[in-house]
Structure 1
Amino acid sequence: MDKDKTKPAAVSRRTLFAGAGTAGALAAAAAALPLARPEATPVAAKPAEPEGEGYRLSEHVRRYYQTTRV
């Protein structure tokens, strides 16, 4: 008669720990996934500098070169 009164637990300890481990793994995977980010608005491109302007030996550049002479 004692056997009729005591039923085995519906959830065993092994099943409980397996479920907790699965829930933890799912939480870790969800945290590792990248978040959805709004798309950045495109920045207007700077116009290209005109060719041929390049380096110019101006007066202030000449003065600088004179200060660097030893």
Structure 2
Amino acid sequence: MDQARSKLSRRQVFAGAGTAGALAAAAAVLPRVDQEPQAQAPQQPAPERGGGYQVTQRVLQYYQTARL
């Protein structure tokens, strides 16, 4: 009867370790949620006659990486 208890206990330990590992892996994959919302840059009003294209730092970076 002692062997049955030790096998059961060993199984529980390995099952618990496997569950803890699975939970840790799931927590690592989930995206993080910030508690404080980030301040956004104030948006400029849309132009009245179109012309919404603006050369920003991101556009310049794209042009830099797109060069052959």
Q: Kindly name which structure, 1 or 2, has the bigger radius of gyration based on alpha carbons.
A: 1
Could you tell me the TM-score, scaled by structure 1's length? 0.45
Is the helix fraction higher in 1 or 2?
2
Could you tell me the TM-score, scaled by structure 2's length? 0.45
Relative contact order higher in (CA < 8 Å, ≥ 6 apart): 2
